[in-house]
Amino acid sequence: MRLPFPAWLGSAVLILASIVPSAWGANQADVPRLWHDAPAQLAQDQPLSAKKPWVLREREIVLDLQLLQIVKDAAARPHPRMSVELFDETRYELDITSTVTRIDDTAVIRGTFKPSSEGDFTFVASGNLLVGTMQLGNRLYKTEHVSNGRLRLIEVDPAKLPPD
């Protein structure tokens, strides 16, 4: 026995189908970032070091210290959603798969980007600093400590990078 299909149900399905993708996009934009650009005044006060031939792009960044403390805590599971913005205003959501915390306030954090086919990352956090490497496809990014707690994000040309 078939029940009649109410006309309003078809309209409701179409409305929901149009709302859900835009709501999902809004949620992606609301994902907190582990870092953001350093204020212009701070970056101008203390210029970055001389450009190295393997550095393609760079900019000074400031960490979200509250998120950093959560990331460093190996017992903090599940981690809240968080992302990083590299260059070109593209955000990548982090999927932390491993955190090893040491007694000296140092942690090694490993994971992948969502979706996991995007790439992976390894960070070492110590105090209020976060240095590490991110591989996205054939692109390589690093966070480096400049001086006095200042950090920068760089995109590296692997072909020109000197051996360790």
Domain ranges of the chain: 33-156
How far is it, in rounded angstroms, from Cα 73 to Cα 70? 5
For 88-104, write each residue's pLDDT tens digit. Answer: 888 999 999 999 988 88
The number of CA neighbours under 13 Å toward the Cβ of 140 is 10
Instruction: Answer yes or no: pTM beyond 0.85.
Output: no
SS3 162: coil
* 88-147 per-position pLDDT tens digit: 888 999 999 999 988 888 999 999 998 767 799 999 999 999 999 999 988 999 999 988
